[in-house]
Structure 1
Amino acid sequence: MSTPTPKPYRPPSFLPSPVLDHASAGLVAGCIATLFTHPLDLLRTRFQVSSTPITGGPGRAILSSLGGIKARDGWKGLYRGLGPNLVGNIAGWGLYFMWYELLKRRIAARDPDSVHAAEGGGREVRLSPGGYLLASAQASALTAVMTNPLWVVRVRIFTSRPGDAHDYGTLHRGLYRIARTEGLRGLYRGSTFALIGISNGALQFMAYEELKQLGFELKRRRYERAGREWREGGEKLSNIEYILMSATSKLVALATTYPYQVIRARLQSNNPEYPNIPTILRLTYAQSGLRGFYRGLATNMIRVLPATCITFVVYENVAWALRRHFAV
């Protein structure tokens, strides 16, 4: 007599749709990660835009630059541009996870390799690597189009100083000034290149989802060896595992796609030295060779890895809490 297949675990969602649970978790994760890592984000953007050679190792350059900003502008200078950066990351992560969950479910409906596990009113979806890559690329593209104006203002504020003639001040003032002086084209400056760069998020999430599936499979086997019941969709991994998986997936994506970030930052900075992509490519190579396209990479890794780990750990825990502990 065959053993009946156990029914998948079906936890309820806190909000009307599980998709909204994931979007809310993304909002919280984006907020917390930005508050912790903003000074390094400010520094990374300035390194990308600058053509001055970085002396010393990345650690020394970071400490020296942070100290210089504090000496000139005080502690407030280290959090210059926090408003647009906070709004951009909150909106970006919230929108991204919303689109990502919606697209995963749509792809799962026609992906023969997917596994559906109903959870309340939604579904726990497992896709093929190609399915994750497609969902992440589409979610990244939609989010990039919707948030590009916020990133343009952020770069302008990051690369100017208070009181300068080119000081963009606040998010609202920056958006108004760019719209008035440069029009819609100014607000979407660098958007074409941002769309090219969606490969970063796509590669990262594909790698992360595959590592997460591997983590769940290893945990399932441990449960079986211990004689414990395994409920599909009803378990979570440890925070250490989420940290290792998010860091590994980000390193893979970052090493592959970093040059586009340098070019996009220079294009969005409104520096007359960098009017278009061909000029940026030519000048960057002439000034620094291939190393110029990886300018600020070490700083970016130091900034991005903590931000990535914080984002994913907070996201996974908030999504889990909404699903398990606060649902009604």
Structure 2
Amino acid sequence: MTTKSYTSSPHLDQALAGFGAGLVSTVILHPLDVIKIRFQVDERKKSEQRPLIGGTVRSFKKIVRNEGVWRGLYRGVTPNIAGATASWSLYFWWYSLIKKHMTKNEEGKLSPFQHLTASAEAGAITAVFTNPLWVIKTRMCTTTRYTPNAYTGLLNGLRRLATEEGIAGLYRGMVPALFGVSHGAIQFMAYEEMKKWRKDIREKEGLAGLDAERLSTAEYLVMAATSKVTATVATYPYQVLRSRFQSQTTQDKYKGVMDCVRQIYRAEGYVGFYKGLSPNIIRVLPGTCITFVVYERVSQYLRENATEHSV
């Protein structure tokens, strides 16, 4: 039996495309991640909060002024790159593999629920593998190089996290992270359905095969942005919860997810669950567009240059 792929496996092709997509978007947009996470862990009460408008710009200027560009805006970029490339690679690999083993309809297509299920399963597996990297990223983004005992880099952070806090430290924030699986599931279900809808239209126009699947960059951008914004608005509070847990070095502050929800609501109100949403939205639109366009273009290149491999 043979299969057509650029590497030895079509699932590995998907992982390679995901790796490239994650790398490009992370390097370009990391400063907005730093600002977003610092907002998310800000525990000031409602009466102490500054006006929401302009907060992202003020934070950007403050970080540059006090910490510099590379050591401030790009603090934590190494674990972010490691986490993003690992996450996108693993996610697309598992997503492709899971879809392959699902039962398709008479037209050889999956239902929206199957796309949702495949995305959720791939997201959960990916979250388990990559959580330690996100803990390091969060802690580096919420500290400066002048903060006492702050992590100096990815390897330093992993070593200290494992030795000082053990498994509990490596998987801090895991429960909210699993809640976040719904984010990817909603995003990819919407994205896949829009792609399928557009492909059906192109097939009705007389196109077939790769020609029907070859959408324009503008079409990818619109579908990627729409699916991402939909998922972000629906699930954003889990990111705040995850950042709060990951930034804590002990369990003394929050006794569990529901305790964290209660404390945030009592002290900060509903706004507390949406802290950092502004820089996140600013990051989401170009980030998602960059990620999906790079992913689709790399995938298209791999498909068009695929060769037969024995399996």
**TM-score of the alignment, normalized to the shorter chain, above 0.5:** yes
How many residues are paired up? 301
Q: Distance in 2 between matches of 1:146 and 1:70?
A: 33
> Once the two structures are superposed, what CA deviation does each residue of 1:255-302 show, in whole Å capped at 9, x if it has no partner?
111111111110111166733333322221122211211111122111
The 3-state SS of whatever aligns with 1:50 is coil
Query: Does the aligned pair in 2 maintain the 1:88–1:147 contact within 8 Å?
Result: yes
Corresponding position of 2:24:
32
Match of 1:248 in 2: 226
CA contact (8 A) 2:15 2:93 kept: yes
- Per-residue Cα deviation, 1:186-224 (whole angstroms, up to 9, x for no partner): 100111221122111001100100011111122223x33
Maintained 8 Å contact 1:54/1:61: no
Q: Give 1:285's aligned residue.
A: 265
Q: Does 1:192 align with 2:170?
A: no
Tell me which structure has the larger Cα radius of gyration. Answer: 1
In the alignment, which residue of structure 2 is the partner of 1:308?
Answer: 288
Counterpart residue number, 1:145: 128
Q: Structure 1 residue 80 and structure 2 residue 75: aligned? A: yes
One-letter amino acid matched to 1:291: V
**Partners in 2 of 1:21 and 1:114 — Cα distance?**
26
Pairing of 1:8-19 with structure 2 (within 5 A): 12-19=4-11
Query: 1:236 maps to which residue?
Result: 214
Q: Is the 8 A contact 1:103 1:135 kept in 2?
A: yes
Structure 2-normalised TM-score? 0.91
2:248 is matched by which residue type in structure 1? Answer: N
What's the % identity of the aligned pairs?
44
Counterpart position of 1:203: 186
Q: Distance in 1 between matches of 2:191 and 2:158?
A: 34
Match in the other structure for 2:140: 157
The one-letter code of the counterpart of 1:19 is H
Aligned partner of 2:160: which letter? R
Q: For 2:152, what is the secondary structure of its paired residue?
A: coil
Who is 1:135 aligned against?
118
Q: Tell me how far 1:327 sits from its aligned partner.
A: 4.8
Unaligned runs of 5+ in 1: 1-9, 117-125
Question: What's the Cα RMSD here?
Answer: 2.0
**Is the partner of 1:275 in helix, strand or coil?**
coil
Q: By how many angstroms is 1:230 displaced?
A: 2.2
The one of 287, 295, 298 equivalent to 1:318 is 298
Corresponding position of 1:95: 90
Structure 2 counterpart of 1:78, one-letter code: L
Equivalent residue for 2:253?
Answer: 274
| 1:120 corresponds to | none
When structure 1 is superposed on structure 2, of 242-251 and 157-166 the one drifting more is 157-166
Instruction: Give the Cα–Cα distance (whole angstroms) in 2 for the partners of residues 54 and 32 of structure 1.
Output: 34
Higher relative contact order (CA 8 A, sep 6+): 2
CA gap of 1:51–1:130, structure 2 versus 1, over 3 A, is same
| Contact residue 114 and residue 128 of structure 1 kept, 8 A | no
Distance 1:205 1:300, change over 3 A: same
The alpha-carbon distance between structure 1 residues 201 and 233, as it changes in their structure 2 partners (threshold 3 A), is farther
Offset at 1:233? 7.2
Contact 1:266/1:274, CA 8 A, preserved across alignment: no
Cα–Cα, structure 1 residues 292 and 265, in superposed 2: closer, same or farther, change >3 Å? same
Give how far 1:242 is off. Answer: 0.7
